[in-house]
Amino acid sequence: MGKQMTEMLKGTLEGIVLAILSGRPAYGYEITAWLRDQGFSDIAEGTIYALLVRIEQRGLVDVEKVPSEKGPPRKVYSLNAQGREYLEEFWRTWSFLAERLEQLREGGN
């Protein structure tokens, strides 16, 4: 990923992670692996874990500790009602921005 992609992701990664969690509960490594499979190869696991802590503190996800065969329990994150509301607002904002950017790209003002 180039520097421009990295900078653009900073503002959208939270919404991307919430969108992933809207499909099903997941733990940090699963989220990171999915993102890498989708081509976001430069995303560090630490970035995802820090983001998960922030969205947990903001009350956007519920967390369940699940026993792991390989060490300490895993924290499994699932989107709650407040997180769904936040994600809906994220998509509205994304749609607005995408439409305006497309207009600019096509030469409109």
Rounded CA gap, 109 and 106, in Å?
9
Of the candidates 99, 81, 79, 103, the one whose C-alpha atom is nearest the C-alpha of residue 91 is 99
As a whole number, mean pLDDT of residues 28-57 equals: 93
Of the candidates 33, 30, 32, 87, the one whose C-alpha atom is nearest the C-alpha of residue 58 is 87
Determine the pLDDT at residue 10. 79
Determine the pLDDT at residue 13. 94
Of the candidates 69, 56, 68, 47, the one whose C-alpha atom is nearest the C-alpha of residue 18 is 56
Domains in the chain (CATH in brackets) are: 3-79+86-105 (1.10.10.10)
Rounded CA gap, 69 and 61, in Å?
24
**Which of the pair, 84 or 2, is modelled with greater confidence?**
84
For residue 1, pLDDT over 60 is answered with no
Of the candidates 34, 54, 53, the one whose C-alpha atom is nearest the C-alpha of residue 43 is 34
As a whole number, mean pLDDT of residues 89-94 equals: 96
**pLDDT tens digits for range 45-69:** 899 999 999 999 999 999 999 998 8
pLDDT band at 109 (very low <50, low <70, confident <90, very high): low
CB under 8 Å to 21, separation ≥6 — which residues?
31, 61, 77, 78, 79, 83
Determine the pLDDT at residue 44. 86
